[in-house]
Each structure stands twice: as structure tokens, then as C-alpha cells.
Amino acid sequence: MLPPPTMNFDRRQLLAALPASAAAFATTRLQDPQGKAPDKPAATPKTRFAANIEMWWGGMPVLDKIRAAHTLGFPAIEFWPWRGKDVAAIAALTQELGMAVAQFTAWGFSPGLNQQKNHEAFVAEIEASCKIAKELRCPMMTVVGGNDVKGMTQVEMHDQIIAGLKLGAKVAEQHNVMLILEPMNIRVDHKGHCLYGSEAAVKICRAVGSPMVKINWDLYHCHISEGDLCGHLRDGFDQLGYAQLADHPGRTEPGTGEIHYPRVLKELHALGYRGYVGVECRPSKPEAEAAKGLWFADQWS
């Protein structure tokens, strides 16, 4: 019997080859079989993406941002507060272009929903925002829980969020506009916020018990806060109202970090989600190039 061939590895050569191999994997793992995205990369076949016009096309006027999103194939947009924006112009342009407004922010970090003294103002703002949602033909609006309040435990703050959302739910149900509660992350972006991770948000929304109060499930925030994105989606899917994404680290477009979005988007689809996925990220390169990350993230079967 012949002896087995000997394999002589040079340790330095092997270590030098590893970064190149890793780079090659990183650039191919999100690509389609042809390795090329179309001219309208945001017009993806399975996932409907909504461009966040606050984080994309920085410095450009709002209406020009909407036109730029349309050029890249986005079927929808999302944005933060409606106050200070020309809502009538946004409504007219999106209708002209055949685009949707997926969601906007109706209630932000401050004053906090986690304090009873702010609930009356919260209900009034939800009432006003529901009218704006109707003008924009928008089915849902984000609400935020609020930052930590000195002297209150997290349980007490979450109880006040529940109480406030129950009041807001009556308005939302009347107008048929969904309130979507967004949990944040406190490791990177929102230190001192009282609501982070999907588990707490699921408990709150189940306690409210309204079909018009669900979660704005920001996958970027939840990845940082708790990980196991697909497992948590399965556990709390009954409370998902809307999904957002960004890669980590950097809060940039898919394909730039550690989250394998083809797998996560496949899970969302398998669970039955057919709503828009908000692209709330900072493009790491020119938008026309960054949008290709969305195309590659949508390549799964």
C-alpha cells in the first residue's frame, strides 16, 4: 500500500489567504446567480421595501428624495414626524408616482408615553396624526415608548405605555389606522430608552389587546438587543405590524455587516408577512449602489 501523500502547509501563507477568502465570501453571499442587480434594484420580486427618506439622500429636498426612491424602484417610502413637512405635496407626488407611504412617526421619544401626565397630549396627537394618515393613504404610524424616567421602574414605565396605548387604540380603531410601537436598542443608539427588544414589546401589545396596536419590529434594534431574529419573530409574530431593517455594525444597508438578511426575510415571508419592510439605514455608498444590497438580500428560495 502506498503511503498517503504529505501535505506541507506554510502557516504564514495560510493566514495570509484567510482575509481574501473571507472577503470573497462576504461579497458573494448576498448575490443572485448572475451576480448582478438590475437598474431598479429596490424593485425586488419577493420583499416590498420602503425607503426611509430621512436617512437616504441626505440634504436633498423631500420631494426630490421621493423621486429618487422611485427611480431606484422602491414601491413605498417612510419618514419620521409629519409636522414640518408639506403633507399635501407628499400625498400628491406619491399618488402621481404610484408609490405608497408605508408609515410615519406620530409620537416620538419626548414627551414620553411612559408617563401618565402625557397621555392626554398623546391621544390628541394620535387624533391629529390619523387625519394626516388618511390624507397620505397611510395605514399605520409609529409611536415610541419614551426614555427612562427617574424614580420609575421599567415595569411601571411599561405599564404606563400600556395604559396610554389603550387610550390611543380607541382613536386608532375609529380611524382604522394602526399604531406600531417601536422597541429600540440601548447598546448603540438609544441608551436610556425604556423599551428595547421584541419580548417586552410583544408583552405590551398583547396586554393592550387591540388589532390596531402592533409592533414596528426594527430588526436592527432587535439584533443588537436580543439576537435570534428568526426565533423571536416566530414567538411574537401575532404582534408584528411592520418590519424595518439595517445591517450591523454601522446601521448600513444589507450585505455590509453581520446580519444574513436573505435568511431573515425568508423567515418573515414564511410566517406570512407581506407588508412593507422599511429601509431605515444609512447607505454606506451612493444610494444607487447601496440599493443593490436590497436586491441581493431578497435572493432566497
CATH superfamily, domain at 45-297: Divalent-metal-dependent TIM barrel enzymes (3.20.20.150)
Task: Please tell me the number of Cα atoms within 13 Å of 198 on its side-chain side.
Answer: 30
Contacts of residue 257, Cβ cutoff 8 Å, sequence gap at least 6? 247, 248, 249, 250
**Amino acid 223: pLDDT:** 98
pLDDT at 171: 98
Q: How far apart are CA 71 and CA 65, in angstroms?
A: 10
* pLDDT value of position 230: 98
**Residue where the block lists cell 398583547:** 206
Helix boundaries (H) for 2-151: 11-28, 62-71, 87-97, 119-136
Q: Which residue ranges make up each domain of the chain?
A: 45-297
Q: Are the CB atoms for 176 and 213 separated by under 8 Å?
A: no
Residue 187: half-sphere exposure toward Cβ, Cα within 13 Å: 13
Q: Cell 415595569 appears where?
A: 155
187: cell is 447598546
Whether the ω angle into residue 19 lies within 30 degrees of 0, i.e. cis, is no
pLDDT at 35: 73
What is the per-residue pLDDT for 10? 54
**DSSP state letter for 15:** H
Burial class (CB in 10 A: 0-12, 13-18, 19+), 167: middle
pLDDT tens track, the chain, 301 positions: 545 444 454 545 544 554 444 444 444 444 444 479 999 999 999 999 999 999 999 999 999 999 999 999 999 999 999 999 999 999 999 999 999 999 999 999 999 999 999 999 999 999 999 999 999 999 999 999 999 999 999 999 999 999 999 999 999 999 999 999 999 999 999 999 999 999 999 999 999 999 999 999 999 999 999 999 999 999 999 999 999 999 999 999 999 999 999 999 999 999 999 999 999 999 999 999 999 999 999 999 9
Contact 70, 99 (CB under 8 A): yes
Question: How confident is the model at residue 70, as a pLDDT?
Answer: 98
Report the percent of the chain where pLDDT is more than 90. Answer: 88
